[in-house]
Amino acid sequence: MTVLPVTIWGEPVLHRRASEVEVFDDELRTLIADMFETNEAANGVGLAAPQVGVGKRIFIFKYANDDDAPDEGVLVNPVLTLSKIPGALPDPEEDVEGCLSFPGEHYPLQRADWARVQGFDGHGQPVDFVATGWFARVMQHEFDHLDGKLYVNRLVDRYAKKAMKQAKKNGWGVPGLSWMPGVDPDPFGH
């Protein structure tokens, strides 16, 4: 298994819809193993293929939950069905997200509290479970990456302006930027 560099906001693969996986082969399973290794090195709870420069509809997760779902797994070609997202402003203490591709930053975002997650594992076998609370948030966050969105694209104006100001300050928004988990300092201080 190999730790892969994590792309940073501005890399084109992060901002376009990923393509469907059509072949479930050893190459796919190697990518999935590398994604798990990368996520572990980055202290992440999830990682989508576009975050490692691969424009395919795959994400992995590692999140202990009480939802009768595995604590870690992979979703290939996933589909999410969500409960309604509350219309209230996000709580700046309780609803804060971060992203390995917007490293070191955290902003509040309102998400659905329930998600049905369907897709396939790395061998093409069906996966189907329900996620609630923070686990549902993780599923939505990773799924967004497959549609070319980062959580900062969903922020309310006040936080979106802060995020874009921080991106500019960090020199992000251009192709070719990445960081290496396990080599570069952990941007979230784990």
Could you list the residues known to form a binding site for Fe cation, using ranges: 99, 141, 145
147/14 Cα distance (integer angstroms): 9
Q: What angle do CA 70, 147, 64 make, to 5 degrees?
A: 20
Of the candidates 146, 183, 124, the one whose C-alpha atom is nearest the C-alpha of residue 52 is 146
Secondary structure of residue 151 in the 3-state scheme: helix
Which among 11, 97, 105, 142 is annotated as catalytic? 142
Reading the block at residue 46, the tokens are 């999830």
The whole-angstrom separation of Cα 99 and Cα 187 is 10
Write out the binding residues.
99, 141, 145
The verdict on whether 105 is a catalytic residue reads no
Just list the catalytic residues.
142
